[in-house]
């Protein structure tokens, strides 16, 4: 394919993925020799309409010099004229002969032109340079995830504050402040936010399963936020676990697996973000001495509390057999980021009057920087600020994340 046509497809990929109906094109693409049947079968196996559209556009760029005009012809023949006109804007006029047209491939040689009968295609007059749409539209690319759907995606917040007496876990004063901040923040970032409060272990699993069964094909991202007590558990991927109000926990690696590509196909290739405000264990970090110019000292409140529970074995409180993600042969997840409020094994500090250090800082950084800074960079900013706090003038906290994202992620922000 000519370089100018590739650039036109790349610049308009967002609109093509959003509006293209690939199912109407397959017969024409096959008849005109743009794709082979095997290639069409592979595109159809991509899953959702959006994923098929995305794969079709990517494959189209490899199909020779005639693929672009023939694709435009297919769009016109299937009633998708608006997309054809969008792609023609700024493209050189292309005319295919009425008697015969050339196809980009013969199935075995993508660069070879093959004669076959066809219908004349006439490019309308006009043109001009392609311009991005109004606002901060980000298109899926090698550099950044597509994050321009409206709404951007679902955000589930599970806020466990009041624990059942038999659980032997203290109530988490101040967690409602964290919850309100994050609910407001992710609504501002154009997510559909749902809050669930004081859930038992089985109820946490049910909410995650329900989220995984939703159709996310029209969305670009999914967020899960867990606010609860936590503990350190044996793991083979993501450390830590989050408690239900009944004292039974769910490992973080199980939480993430509900939304991986195998269990939630409509989120394949899309970022899945998990924010965990819970302790990773019961060890308190007393820090180490540095020169005064390394940090700006900051003390926590007089009523600092932790969300720590001593480490449990993987067999405690949880049956692995009823988990849909319990198979050890699952591949390493892609497009997943898990942000922890504290380093695995250590406590996480929370002030009863103003909420947790981690959520306070995360909310402020998102407010100040989301319009211009990618998520991973913002999380490093959170790490730096939280690391400068001190609980009771003595204890420290170090957030961190396990990052399996493949691209930069920029949130939508209000202009």
Q: How many CB atoms lie within 10 A of CB 330?
A: 16
- Reply yes or no on whether 263 is catalytic: no
Contacts of 362 (CB under 8 A, 6+ apart): 182, 275, 339, 382
Distance, CA of 190 to CA of 11 (rounded, Å) = 23
- Reply yes or no on whether 152 is catalytic: no
What does the angle CA 230 – CA 392 – CA 158 come to, to the nearest 5 degrees? 25
End-to-end CA distance of the chain: 37
Identify the DSSP state of 265.
Answer: G
Distance of CA 271 to the CA centre of its chain: 2
Q: Is 271 left (phi over 0), alpha (psi -120 to 50) or beta?
A: beta
The two counts, helices (H) then strands (E), for the chain are 12, 17
Q: Which of 155, 229, 254, 264 is catalytic?
A: 229
- The residue ranges of DSSP E strands in 153-302, in sequence order, are 153-159, 191-197, 221-227, 230-231, 241-243, 249-251, 272-277, 298-299
Sign (positive or negative) of CA dihedral 304, 310, 312, 318: negative
SS (H, E, C) 342-384: CCCCECCEEECCCEEHHHHHHHHHHHHHCCCCCHHHHHHHHHH
Contact 17, 57 (CB under 8 A): yes
Strands of the sheet containing 153-159, edge to edge, are 191-197, 153-159, 221-227, 272-277, 336-340, 400-403
Nearest to 387 by CA among 352, 355, 346: 346
Structural tokens at position 7 = 């650039």
Nearest to 345 by CA among 400, 387, 394: 400
Pairing state of beta strands 336-340 and 153-159?
A: unpaired
Residue 159 DSSP SS3: strand
Residue 277 DSSP SS3: strand
Tell me which residues are annotated as active site.
Answer: 229, 279
């Amino acid at each position: 394919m000519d370089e100018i046509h590739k650039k036109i497809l790349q610049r308009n990929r967002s609109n093509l993925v959003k509006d293209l109906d690939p199912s109407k094109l397959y017969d024409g693409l096959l008849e005109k020799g743009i794709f082979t049947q095997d290639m069409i079968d592979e595109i159809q196996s991509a899953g959702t309409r959006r994923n098929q559209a995305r794969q079709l556009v990517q494959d189209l760029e490899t199909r020779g010099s005639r693929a672009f005009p023939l694709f435009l012809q297919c769009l016109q023949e299937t009633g998708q004229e608006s997309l054809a006109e969008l792609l023609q804007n700024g493209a050189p006029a292309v005319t295919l002969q009425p008697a015969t047209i050339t196809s980009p491939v013969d199935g075995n040689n993508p660069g070879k032109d093959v004669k076959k009968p066809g219908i004349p295609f006439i490019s309308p007059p006009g043109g001009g340079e392609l311009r991005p749409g109004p606002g901060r539209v980000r298109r899926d690319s090698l550099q950044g995830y597509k994050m321009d759907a409206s709404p951007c995606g679902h955000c589930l917040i599970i806020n466990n504050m009041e624990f059942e007496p038999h659980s032997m876990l203290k109530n988490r004063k101040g967690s409602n402040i964290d919850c309100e901040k994050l609910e407001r923040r992710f609504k501002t970032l154009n997510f559909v936010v749902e809050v669930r409060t004081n859930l038992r272990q089985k109820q946490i699993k049910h909410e995650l399963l329900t989220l995984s069964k939703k159709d996310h094909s029209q969305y670009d991202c999914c967020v899960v936020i867990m606010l609860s007590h936590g503990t350190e558990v044996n793991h083979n991927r993501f450390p830590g676990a989050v408690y239900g109000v009944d004292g039974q926990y769910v490992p973080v690696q199980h939480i993430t697996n509900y939304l991986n590509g195998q269990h939630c196909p409509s989120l394949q290739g899309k970022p899945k973000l998990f924010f965990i405000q819970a302790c990773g264990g019961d060890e308190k970090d007393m820090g180490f001495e540095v020169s005064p110019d390394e940090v700006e000292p900051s003390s926590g409140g007089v009523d600092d509390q932790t969300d720590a529970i001593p480490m449990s074995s993987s067999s405690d409180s949880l049956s692995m057999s009823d988990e849909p993600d319990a198979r050890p042969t699952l591949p390493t997840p892609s497009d997943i980021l898990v942000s922890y409020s504290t380093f695995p094994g250590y406590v996480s500090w929370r002030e009863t009057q103003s909420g947790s250090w981690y959520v306070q800082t995360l909310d402020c950084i998102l407010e100040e920087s989301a319009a211009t800074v990618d998520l991973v960079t913002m999380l490093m900013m959170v790490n730096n600020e939280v690391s400068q706090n001190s609980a009771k003038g003595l204890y420290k906290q170090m957030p961190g994340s396990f990052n399996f994202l493949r691209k930069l992620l920029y949130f939508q922000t209000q202009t």
